[in-house]
Amino acid sequence: MNIRILILALITLPFAVSAQVTEPPLPLTGAPPAAAVCIACHSSEMIDSQPRLTEAQWRATVLKMKAAYGAPVADKDVDDIARWLTAHQTGSGQAAARQGRLP
C-alpha cells in the first residue's frame, strides 16, 4: 500500500462526531506533499503547540522523526518540510517568542 494513500485516508477520515473531541486538521496549504507524513504517527497539536522554533530546530526535529521514529521522509524533502513548518508557524499567527531563541 502506498504511504500517500494511507496519509490521505488519515487526513480525510471523520475522526469523531458532533461536539466530541476531534483531531484538528493540519492545514497543508502550501505544504510540500511530503509534509503530510507528519501526522501519520501523531496528531497536529504536536506541531501547533510548539514554541516558535528556528528552521534549524525544525530541521533537527524532522531528522529525528526520520532517524529515530522511522518516518518515511526522503533526504531531498527534509529541508522543504522544515521550511514549511517554520513558515506555517509564522502564518498561523503565533506570537513571536518574547524569550530568546536558541542560536
Partner 1 sequence: MDRFAPSRRHFMGLLGITAAAAVSGLRAADVQLPFDNGKRQLVEGFEGKGRMILQRTRAPLLETPFEVYDNGLLTPVDRFYVRWHTASAPRQIDTAAFRLNVHGHVERELSLALADLRSLPAREVTAVSQCAGNSRGFSDPRVPGAQWGNGAMGNAVWRGVNLRQVLDRAGVKAGSMAIRFRGLDAAPPHFGKSLGVDIARNDDVLLATHMNGQPLPWDHGFPLRLVVPGWFATYWVKAVSDIEVLTTEDDNYWMAKAYRIPATPDGSTTPGAPAGATTPISTMPPRSFVTNVRDGDRLRAHSQHAIRGIAFSGKAAIRRVEWSGDGNTWHRCQIDGEGGVYGFRRWHTQIPVGAPGGQQLLVRATDAAGNVQPLHAGWNPGGFMRNAVESLNLVIA
By the criterion CB under 8 A, which residues form the site for partner 1? 1-3, 6, 9-10, 13, 15-17, 19-24, 40-43, 45-46, 49-53, 57, 61, 68-72, 94-95, 97-103
Contacts of 26 (CB under 8 A, 6+ apart): 11, 36, 38, 39, 44, 47, 48
Backbone angles phi, psi at 85, to 5 degrees: -60, -40
Minimum CB separation from partner 1 for residue 31, in Å?
19
Minimum CB separation from partner 1 for residue 96, in Å?
8
Minimum CB separation from partner 1 for residue 30, in Å?
20
CA distance 35 to 85: 9
